[in-house]
Amino acid sequence: MDRRAFLAALSSAALVPLGQTRPPASRLILLGTAGGPTPKATRSGPSQIVVVGDRGYVVDCGDGVARQMMIAGVFRTMRHVFITHHHSDHNADYGTLLLLAWGDRLKTPIDTWGPPPLEKMTKQFLEMSAPDISVRIRDEGRPPLAPLIHPHEIHRAGAVMKDDLVTVTCTVVPHPLVPIALAYRFDCPDRSIVFSGDTAPSDALVALAKGADVLVHEALYVPGAPGEPGSPLRKHIMDSHTPVEDAGRIATRAGVRTLVLSHLVPSETPKVTDEQWLAAARTTFSGQIVVGRDLLEL
């Protein structure tokens, strides 16, 4: 244990009354911080994980999520998977993550949560993967995968799930033309963390994030936005996403302590420096601002 960890353990131990056990602290790891459907050389697709104790809650499954979880040392913590919406940058590795976890050593249930048609997508992914799954069941003695995966479709804002460590709620955010896009809030034993998913500036998100400790919000740097001004691509980007200054406004209105900028657009080209992201968010938010990068732990 290094000195900082020792001091942290000492100070937290001092606050716990005798005979009580302190609930585990939450970890938030940004697994992928690029926005948009194309693969990137320097960032993985959007994904993050909240780990409380030994239990992991994955939010979104962008390109490379399984490998990022392995690098972060949290691959085997996965217990729940949440999808914000069905754009490929958020769900491309949804099935792959489940399949690779099973190929590793998964034997226990995984619950998955997200907008329709999550059940159909799960079923069809398992059907597509049947040649691999059936061979490994016979060859390696793996348990059947399908009975381990429990998809749950979310149709509206409200309660999502609750266990002894975490309460998850959601709201519906505007992200045209996606029928249902969700933002999630995780109330953990030690703090609350909100994920905007993809959204245009949203009052519903402000309400969901009210008083949260951490808001992970998507961010668009308008001077570097993709597409020519007036083009369909630029119109889609502007209608569906949140300029970084507005992400700051939302953080201010919600009264959060820390704003984490992620799902960065552009994420590589043209290059936007951390200082530029920070300066833009600082115009509208005076709390702590973190510019997301892959594998950053908060």
Size of the residue set binding Zn ion (CB under 5 A): 4
43, 79, 86, 87: residue in contact with Zn ion (rule CB under 5 A): 87
Q: Which of 2, 54, 60, 89 is catalytic?
A: 89
Distance in Å, CB of 241 to Zn ion, minimum: 8
Reference 103, options 149, 65, 137; nearest CA is 137
The torsion angles phi and psi of 169, rounded to 5 degrees, stand at -125, 165
Rounded-to-integer distance, Cα 72 and Cα 294, Å: 10
Closer CB to Zn ion, 89 or 246, in the complex: 89
Q: What is the CA radius of gyration of the chain?
A: 19
Closer CB to Zn ion, 40 or 87, in the complex: 87
Burial class of residue 148, CB neighbours in 10 A (0-12, 13-18, 19+): middle
Closer CB to Zn ion, 36 or 151, in the complex: 36
Distance in Å, CB of 87 to Zn ion, minimum: 3
241 binds Zn ion (CB under 5 A): no
- DSSP H/E element including 141: none
Which residues between 184 and 213 bind Zn ion (CB under 5 A)? 198
List strands edge to edge, sheet with 288-291.
Answer: 158-162, 167-173, 181-187, 192-195, 214-220, 258-265, 288-291
The torsion angles phi and psi of 210, rounded to 5 degrees, stand at -50, 120
Distance in Å, CB of 141 to Zn ion, minimum: 39
16 Cβ neighbours under 8 A, 6+ residues apart: 22
Which residues between 2 and 41 bind Zn ion (CB under 5 A)? 35
Closer CB to Zn ion, 63 or 213, in the complex: 63
89 counts as catalytic:
yes
Distance in Å, CB of 79 to Zn ion, minimum: 24
Closer CB to Zn ion, 92 or 165, in the complex: 92
Name residue 183's beta-bridge partners.
171
Rounded-to-integer distance, Cα 135 and Cα 64, Å: 24
56, 66, 69, 89: residue in contact with Zn ion (rule CB under 5 A): 89
Distance in Å, CB of 108 to Zn ion, minimum: 30
Residues making contact with Zn ion (CB under 5 A) = 35, 87, 89, 198
> Which amino acids are annotated catalytic?
89
